[in-house]
Amino acid sequence: MSEPATINPRIIEGLYSEALVLSDEVRAAFDLSGRIETAGAEEDLARIALSCEALRTTTRMMHAIAWLLNHRAFHMGELSEFQLRRHGRLAADYPGSEPDRLMLLRPDIRELIGATERFYARLVRIDQGWRQREADAPSAVARLRERLGRSVAQ
């Protein structure tokens, strides 16, 4: 398996732009103003499914944007690596959509929800790869101990 790509400002900016476009599509798709009042009683399950998936999908995208904003701040020198590692983690186990509810939604909304899930999964893989690569590197304390050991041995 190949090594994950280094997270650099160019990658983060591209992902951030993609996240903004996707978030705008989500907002437009789940804009419920006016539609709830006109729906009939037979559409209650579909309205509940739409509301639940709207909340889950918008929350997923807000987590993604927050993660990207943290990385942007890091690359601009506004956050230290320590702060980014401590506060900039994505939840790898964020719940996906419920298949029973998805079947009650229009195909275009199902596809949009799937696109947000795939985007979030990409960010989780990038985050885990970045954290793993750095976890494999010796810590600052270990490097200092090694330098001290070499200087004492001389």
Q: E-strand spans in 31-149?
A: none
Q: What is the reported pTM? A: 0.78
Instruction: Say which CATH number the domain at 108 has.
Output: 1.10.8.930
Q: Is residue 139 part of a domain?
A: yes
Q: Is residue 4 part of a domain?
A: no
Q: Is residue 123 part of a domain?
A: yes
In tens, the pLDDT along 121-146 reads: 999 999 998 888 765 566 667 777 88
The three-class DSSP label of residue 39 is coil
Q: Is residue 75 part of a domain?
A: yes
- Tokens 């985007």 sit at which residue? 119
Question: What is the Cα–Cα distance from 154 to 150, expressed in whole angstroms?
Answer: 6
Question: Which structural domain, as residue segments, surrounds residue 75?
Answer: 9-153
Q: Identify which of 79, 106, 59, 57 has the alpha carbon closest to the alpha carbon of residue 12.
A: 79
Question: What is the Cα–Cα distance from 36 to 13, expressed in whole angstroms?
Answer: 36
Q: Is residue 1 part of a domain?
A: no
Q: Is residue 2 part of a domain?
A: no
Q: Identify which of 107, 151, 123 has the alpha carbon closest to the alpha carbon of residue 7.
A: 123
pLDDT for 50: 87
Q: Is residue 3 part of a domain?
A: no
Both structure tokens of 79: 């956050």
As to burial, measured by CB atoms within 10 angstroms (0-12 exposed, 13-18 middle, 19+ buried), residue 68 is: buried
Question: What is the Cα–Cα distance from 96 to 54, expressed in whole angstroms?
Answer: 12
In tens, the pLDDT along 29-79 reads: 988 644 555 555 557 788 888 889 999 999 999 999 999 999 999 999 999
4 Cβ neighbours under 8 A, 6+ residues apart: 125, 126, 129, 130, 132, 133
Asked if residues 129 and 4 have their Cβ atoms less than 8 Å apart, the reply is yes
| Domains held by the chain: number | 1
